[in-house]
Amino acid sequence: MRVLLVGSGGREHALALGLAADPVVEHLVAAPGNPGIGAIAELREVVTTDPAAVAGLAVETAADLVVIGPEAPLVAGVADAVRAKGIACFGPSAAAARIEGSKSFAKEVMAAAGVPTARAYTCTDADQTARALDEFGPPYVVKDDGLAAGKGVVVTEDRAAALAHAAACGRVVVEEYLSGPEVSLFVVTDGQTALPLLPAQDFKRVGEGDVGPNTGGMGAYAPLPWAPPNLVDEVMTRVVHPTLAELRRRDTPFVGLLYVGLALTAAGPKVVEFNARFGDPETQAVLALLETPLAGLLHAAATGTLAGHPPLRWRPGAAVTVVVAAAGYPAAARTGDVITGADRPGIIHAGTARRASDGALVSAGGRVVCATAVGPDLAAARDAAYELVDGITLDGSQHRRDIALAAVRGQVTVPN
Ligand code: AMP
Ligand code: GLY
């Protein structure tokens, strides 16, 4: 099988490692990729949000399967253009990707499908926003209606800050605050059959103890030792299957990775968000534990044959990934700093590049590398991940020291 992987971040490096390890993959191309991915794949330049360009590259590289990592190409219709060439594509159509691309569309689908989620209003002016904020009370949750790379959401006790964020965004979704630990559940689907991956937890805030602004994610671990044993079944029954059925009913079946972001509240699991692609950095932890060959799995989803796929197999133990971010992230990440220690197994490249003048590895994005390790239990995986982090040097870099710490200490509890 010849595979074209679209994207360039840590998630794509983790996907590339999984794809390259699958014996059915004879050739892997990544576009544009990054230096870490370049060690295991042929790199090609492409504008990832240009459907004709990506479809053209898929034809040129004789791809049997295209895997689209990030959301922006999906929302732009890249999967549609690839499928129009008769090439199997892991990733939803533009119409189905609206489940991530528009928060208000996601709410509409959930309402129609009876999926538990926060009560919400879509607001387009300050008066509507103020009324919605006052109905729900603090903490206030205000979400940009469009794509914002994980940074469009403000959760605050400060009413003026909530109003200011709404004004800056234009069209927003204001919703009820959901209290309880968060879970990221990834589901591989061909639109009908759906296979859940191990549940993971992400750390969205930049600072230790979950303080500071939201980021794309500062670290993750899987599985969740504290999760109720029926969690995955319950989410499949109450959330995933009704949502996939509603998308089929609208003639926009969802093929690819449905990312269900949940809060486990006292009233049960409720959807915080849907994404139309693998989460970053949760993928780095989840795929580190997947034993089932990845290309075969994604190809089965892309070709509507997931019902015949064998059950997923997982390594025992746990995985932890810790993001090393650039100075200034998330507000204004500094780039161009030299990175050392990033050539060891377990270091996943996110925002890295080769400096033109001398080929040195330098930072080229907010999240620079992810140190990923597995272990027989969560504590061991965590220790191994931090050992990798401690071997990296990057001037001004920041990382959280508390990834998976509360879970190791048995301090994560589900309200009831
Ligand atoms: P989203 O992009 O919708 O996932 O929001 C980013 C982050 O904001 C989530 O992972 C949560 O940590 C937080 N958040 C979003 N919606 C809510 C909510 N209704 N209640 C509490 N926290 C939320
Ligand atoms: N880690 C959160 C996301 O990928 O959206």
Q: What is the pLDDT of residue 170?
A: 87
From the CA of 62, how far away is ligand 2's center (Å)?
Answer: 31
HEC profile for 77-124?
CHHHHHHHCCCEEECCCHHHHHHHHCHHHHHHHHHHHCCCECCEEEEC
Residue in 279, 278, 321, 318 with CA at minimum distance from that of residue 301: 278
Q: What's the average pLDDT block by block, 10 residues per block, for the chain (416 residues)?
A: 98 98 98 98 98 98 98 97 98 98 92 96 94 96 79 88 92 94 98 98 96 93 97 98 98 98 97 97 98 98 98 98 97 96 96 97 98 98 98 98 98 94
| Residues sharing a CB contact under 8 Å with residue 411, sequence separation 6 or more, in sequence order | none
What does DSSP assign to residue 14?
A: H
Q: What is the pLDDT of residue 145?
A: 84
C-alpha separations of 412 from 182, 305, 407 in Å: 10, 38, 6
Q: Which ligand 1 atom is at minimum distance from the Cα of 178? A: 20
Number of other CB atoms surrounding residue 12 within 10 Å:
31
C-alpha separations of 234 from 13, 238, 291 in Å: 31, 6, 24
Omega of the bond leading into 281 within 30 degrees of 0 (cis)? yes
Pairing of strands 140-144, 172-175: antiparallel
From the CA of 153, how far away is ligand 1's center (Å)?
Answer: 7
Evaluate whether 257 touches 178 at the Cβ level (below 8 Å): no
From the CA of 363, how far away is ligand 1's center (Å)?
Answer: 28
Does residue 177's CB lie within 6 angstroms of at least one atom of ligand 1? yes
Number of the ligand closest to the Cα of 220: 2
Q: What is the pLDDT of residue 361?
A: 98
Does residue 279's CB lie within 6 angstroms of at least one atom of ligand 2? yes
Does residue 18's CB lie within 6 angstroms of at least one atom of ligand 1? no
Q: What is the pLDDT of residue 149?
A: 61
Q: What is the pLDDT of residue 146?
A: 76
**Separation CA 167–CA 125 (nearest Å):** 7
**Separation CA 403–CA 134 (nearest Å):** 34
C-alpha separations of 221 from 135, 168, 194 in Å: 35, 33, 22
Number of the ligand closest to the Cα of 173: 1
From the CA of 359, how far away is ligand 2's center (Å)?
Answer: 30
What six digits make up the tokens of 152? Answer: 């469009």
From the CA of 27, how far away is ligand 1's center (Å)?
Answer: 39
Q: Which ligand 1 atom is at minimum distance from the Cα of 272? A: 16
Nearest CA to ligand 2 atom 5: 279
From the CA of 151, how far away is ligand 1's center (Å)?
Answer: 10
What six digits make up the tokens of 212? Answer: 């500071």
**Separation CA 90–CA 255 (nearest Å):** 7
Q: Which ligand 2 atom is at minimum distance from the Cα of 280? A: 4
**Separation CA 84–CA 320 (nearest Å):** 38
Q: What is the pLDDT of residue 206?
A: 96
Nearest CA to ligand 1 atom 19: 177
From the CA of 261, how far away is ligand 1's center (Å)?
Answer: 8
Helix (H) or strand (E) holding 380: helix 378-390
Evaluate whether 7 touches 68 at the Cβ level (below 8 Å): yes
Does residue 282's CB lie within 6 angstroms of at least one atom of ligand 2? yes
